[in-house]
Structure 1
Amino acid sequence: MELKTAIEQKEAPLTPEQFAQLGDGVIAYVRPMRSEEVNRLYPQAPQIAPGLMIFALFGADGAPIVLADSEEGCIGNARENHLQMVSLH
């Protein structure tokens, strides 16, 4: 009887919907971005003057939660909403 390693036992991957729900409502991350990027990615957001550094708090599924002018503002919002912060690499 041959034993297979976890790598050899190709398990069914998560569907995109299942992957998006991992950490939903629990995990968040902060990402800095230029105001031009905010205007391009989120056309429904109010227009922001070009050339500014903005910090965005995102949920685990990548959905934007809040924009702030400082990283601390995003982190404070995450704490208020009992979200666990994770680091992006």
Structure 2
Amino acid sequence: MLMREVNARLTQSELAHLGAGEVGYIRKMRSEEVSRCFPEAPDIDPSLDLWALFGADGTPILLTDNRSSTFYKAAEDELKTVSLH
């Protein structure tokens, strides 16, 4: 089998929409990061472990102190999930 390297280039817009509506990512957040992604959130106790679910394009979907909730919400929205560290 002959294999050939394919050099595919995506525009920023194409990259931003890659996985939209299909993929979500879950990541742990520190309380000081919350206001940047969830400006409507109240002040949060810094000792809490926080988890956030985002759309593939970075749109915030859910903030919780229960990691399992992020997976339930992703399943409800029919998103395949990936975790970011």
List gaps (5 residues or longer) in structure 1: none
Deviations 1:39-70 (A, max 9, x none): 2x136222232412210001111111111111
Quickly say closer, same or farther: Cα 1:87–1:32, change in 2 above 3 A.
closer
1:24 paired to 2:20:
yes
Residue of structure 2 aligned with 1:76, choices 67, 72, 75: 72
**Is the Cα contact below 8 Å between 1:57 and 1:74 reproduced in 2?**
yes
Aligned residues: 83
Q: Look at both structures and tell me which one has the larger radius of gyration over its CA atoms.
A: 1
List gaps (5 residues or longer) in structure 2: none
1: distance between equivalents of 2:54 and 2:71?
Answer: 11
**Is the Cα contact below 8 Å between 2:53 and 2:60 reproduced in 1?**
yes
Letter in 2 for 1:76: Y
1:46 paired to 2:38:
no
SS of the equivalent of 2:33 reads: helix
Residue of structure 2 aligned with 1:34, choices 30, 36, 52: 30
With normalisation by structure 2, the TM-score equals 0.81
1:58 paired to 2:54:
yes
> What fraction of aligned residue pairs are identical, expressed as a percent?
41
Ranges of 4+ aligned residues in structure 1 off by more than 4 Å: none
Quickly say closer, same or farther: Cα 1:15–1:61, change in 2 above 3 A.
same
